[in-house]
Amino acid sequence: MPTETAATDPGNPPSPLGGWSGETVTLRDALVVPPAVSGLVQDCGVLDANGAFCPHSATWRGHRQMMTAPARPNAPVETLAGRHLFAGQMWNHFGHFLAESLSRLWALDHLENPVESVVFIPKRPGGATAPKGYQKAFLDLLGVSLPIRVLARPTRVEQLVVPGQGFGLGPIAAGSENFRRYFADHFARDVAPAGHRRIYLSRTRLGGLEGSVVCEDALERNLAREGYVPYHPQQHSIRDQIAQYRAAERVIGLDGSAFHLFAMAGNRTAKVAIVLRRNSKVFNGLLTHIQGFTGIAPQVFSALTADWIPQHKKRPGRYSFGALDFEALRRDLMASGFIDGATDWEVPRFRDIKQAMARQSRKKGLTYVRVKSAPLQVAPPARSARVRP
């Protein structure tokens, strides 16, 4: 967790405790510079009238600055008259859109003077200049009625309000007080609970486009016999997902983006289990987000024996497939009260796992490498303690 000294300096990671994550700066003749090349870390953001980088415009991920000072463009730039709010990068990926594209909207409740629009830059050069359908639906549920601009070319803005990063990945996933209050006051206030009491957040219908666990269909069948309805978030509207998450009393899922939306809108008395699908500590961001927004301390189950990793990748990640010890997971879920007897629990054989990965390899045209590993050591869930408000 950043110290209070670090939190006040926009040259350091934002903190949920305060500091620059809750500040805004207003620039005249600001130059908004989108990224010129794709990459994890990109030169992009906002320059002031003198060409100096505005550090409040940068997005951080943990202790790493993901947007660094761009050079002043040589080519002619577009112009945008009036007063506008800078919101950062517009991500197309659902999870990163939730975690990183919304992080500055809290400032809409703290403006001294109104703005005419909300301005983003694309994550990918040459990306869309308007929000996609699900992005627009989400912003509507937040009550954002202002025009949304995605500036794909360098643009001189007459007056630009640049808020600090109030949310994201890393310690800031708990959200600044302003960000949490903004969501509590505005997000999906008219959506009532509706749906199943027990759900399994399934990845079986993602078509192998994203990672999962090997033989997830067997896990889905096992949990269905225990009363958990397979739920495929991508097949439902944002509004319907929120209604389901507000109705659910027990939620089991593989670590993934769906839990970010649950954190923002889910039932705050639900019992939540996250089953790790990869030997990676990225799940910690989900825990921080869920606990910071709801007070729920999810239970994390680590039952992986190996990772199947695309040959061109160096470590387990977004596109890898974890091999579960199904019997160990059954015991752990029973001991924690998520399932009962599970006497007809399917346990895939190693032959089943190899065949499943052969099918995945043919489908994706990739070679996967099996890397044996011990399950991650996961701390017991912390006592629920929601960060106010």
- Taking the C-alpha atoms of residue 142 and residue 121, their distance in angstroms, rounded to an integer, is 20
Indicate the pTM of the whole model. 0.89
What does each C-alpha distance from 123 to 120, 154, 261 come to in angstroms?
A: 9, 14, 21
pLDDT at 59 over 60: yes
Contact 48, 27 (CB under 8 A): yes
* Residue with tokens 């903190």, as numbered in its chain: 15
Average pLDDT value for the chain: 91
| Of 263, 245, 253, 252, the residue nearest 338 (C-alpha) | 252
39's tokens: 């990459």
In the chain, which residues fall in CATH 3.40.50? Answer: 198-372
The percentage of residues in the chain with a pLDDT greater than 90, rounded to a whole number, is 80
Q: Dump pLDDT digits (tens) for 235-281.
A: 999 999 999 999 999 999 999 999 999 999 999 999 999 999 998 88
Per-residue pLDDT tens digits for 110-152 = 999 999 999 999 999 987 788 999 999 999 999 999 999 999 9
Give the number of residues written for the chain: 389
| Residue 371 dihedral angles phi and psi, to the nearest 5° | -120, 110
Q: Which residues pair with 235 in a beta bridge?
A: none
- Of 23, 73, 21, 19, the closest CA to residue 45 belongs to 73
Is the predicted pLDDT of residue 387 greater than 50, yes or no? no
Is domain 198-372 annotated with CATH 3.40.50?
A: yes
Residue 8 has pLDDT above 90, yes or no: no
Cis peptide before 171 (omega within 30 of 0): no
Helix runs in the chain, H state only? 4-7, 94-96, 133-141, 177-186, 216-225, 238-247, 258-265, 283-294, 326-335, 350-364
Write out pLDDT tens, residues 63-108: 999 999 999 998 778 999 999 999 999 999 888 999 999 999 999 9
Query: How many Å apart are CA 286 and CA 111, to the nearest integer?
Result: 30
Residue 385 has pLDDT above 80, yes or no: no
Q: Which two tokens stand for residue 338?
A: 């998520």
296-310 pLDDT, tens per residue?
999 999 999 999 998
pLDDT bracket for residue 317 (50, 70, 90):
confident
148-150: strand order across its sheet? 45-47, 24-33, 155-163, 78-90, 117-122, 148-150
CA distance 125 to 149: 15
**pLDDT band at 356; cut points 50, 70, 90:** very high
The per-residue pLDDT for 76 is 76
357 by DSSP, 3-state: which?
helix
Helical pair 258-265 and 283-294, crossing angle rounded to 10 deg: 10
pLDDT over 90 at 293, yes or no:
yes
